[in-house]
Amino acid sequence: MNKLVLLVVVVLLAGIAGFAFLGKEKVQQFDSAKQSVHVELGESGFEPREVTIIQGGTVTFTTTMDKPFWPASNLHPSHSIYSEFDPLRPLESQETWKFTFNRVGSYNFHDHIRSYFTGVIHVVAK
C-alpha cells in the first residue's frame, strides 16, 4: 500500500510539474504603476510598448522618426474604445502629445498612421 501511494504521488507530482513547466501559461505582470510615463515611437515601435500608470496619470508621446505620428486608442481606425485617447490629427515629428488617463482599465493603442505599431497602457486604481 505504501508503495502504491508513493507511486501515485510520484506520478501526480511529475505530471503537475511537467504541465506547469512545459505547458504554456499566460502570466501577466505589471510594472509598478507610475504617475507619468514617456512613450517614444521609434523605428522599432513604441518604447516602452507596455506601460502601467495610476489612474489620473499622464503619458507623454513623442517620436524619434522624422515623420508624423498619431497615437490613439484601438480599434483602428475608429479609436472608439477610449475615444478621448486620440489627438484627432497627425502630430508633427517634433510635437509632444500628453494624455491623462482617468479611466481604469487596459487600453490597447496604435499609431494611426502606421497601424502596425501597437502598445498597451494599463491604468490601475489609486
Partner 1 sequence: MLLQNKFQYIALAVFSLLFFGFVGFTVYPQGILASEIVACDEKSPNETEKIDCWQDIMRGAFDVDGTQAAFDVFEVVYKNYEVFANTGCHRHAHRIGDMSYYFDYLTHKDFTKMDFPKGATACGYGFYHGFFEHLVQDNTSVEFVTQMCEYMRNNLGDVAPAISQTCYHGSGHGFLLARADELTQESQWSVEAFTQKPLEQCESLPQASDTEIAECRQGVYNVIVDWMADGEYGLSYNTVEPFAMCDREPYERQFDCYYEIAQKIDGLSNGDPLKMVAIVEKAKRVDLQTIAMSVGVAGVVQQNPQNDQITLLSACQSIDRMELKNQCILGIIGGLVEHTIPGTDYKNAINFCESDQLTVDERPLCDRELLGKLKRFRTDIELEEMCSSRVLSTTFCKNMEKNSETLSR
Give whichever of 35 and 42 is closer to partner 1, judged by the CB atom. Answer: 42
Among positions 36, 60, 80, 96, the unique one binding partner 1 when judged by CB under 8 A: 80
Check residue 87 for interaction with partner 1 (CB under 8 A): no
What is the phi/psi pair of residue 21, to 5°?
Answer: -80, -45
Question: Which residues face 42 on adjacent strands?
Answer: 45
Cα–Cα nearest to 109, from 98, 117, 99: 117
Binding to partner 1 by CB under 8 A, coded x per residue (else -) over 6-45, reads xx--xx-xxxxxxxxxxxx-x-----------------xx
Task: Tell me if 86 sits within 8 A of 99, measured CB to CB.
Answer: no
Task: Tell me if 62 sits within 8 A of 103, measured CB to CB.
Answer: no
Q: Please give the residue ranges that form the binding site for partner 1 (CB under 8 A).
A: 3-4, 6-7, 10-11, 13-24, 26, 44-45, 67-68, 74-78, 80-81, 89-90, 92, 108, 113-118
